[in-house]
Amino acid sequence: MNDTLVTELLKLSPAERIALAEELWDSVATHPEELPPLSDAQRAEIERRIEAHKRDPSIALSWDDVRARLRARLG
């Protein structure tokens, strides 16, 4: 990555950097075919979490709830 670009991006306010990170993440999520393949450990962890959710769906939180909790906690 271009060091000059990173330097400029780090001049953004924390709120602006968070918004940028969210936009970047969303852009990755729209092209899953471009992501590297999962490792065996990652795949096993996903399967473990799916099974835990199937056993007790009440433990799950929506992304909106997670984001709200993080923002309340971190400001």
Structure tokens at 42: 């990652």
Has residue 60 got a pLDDT over 80?
Answer: yes
Confidence of residue 57 (pLDDT cuts 50, 70, 90): very high
Q: Say if residues 9 and 20 touch (Cβ distance below 8 Å).
A: yes
Averaged over 27-54, what is the pLDDT? Answer: 91
Confidence of residue 47 (pLDDT cuts 50, 70, 90): very high
Domain boundaries, given as residue ranges, for the chain: 1-35, 37-75
- % of the chain with per-residue pLDDT over 70: 100
Q: How confident is the model at residue 40, as a pLDDT?
A: 97
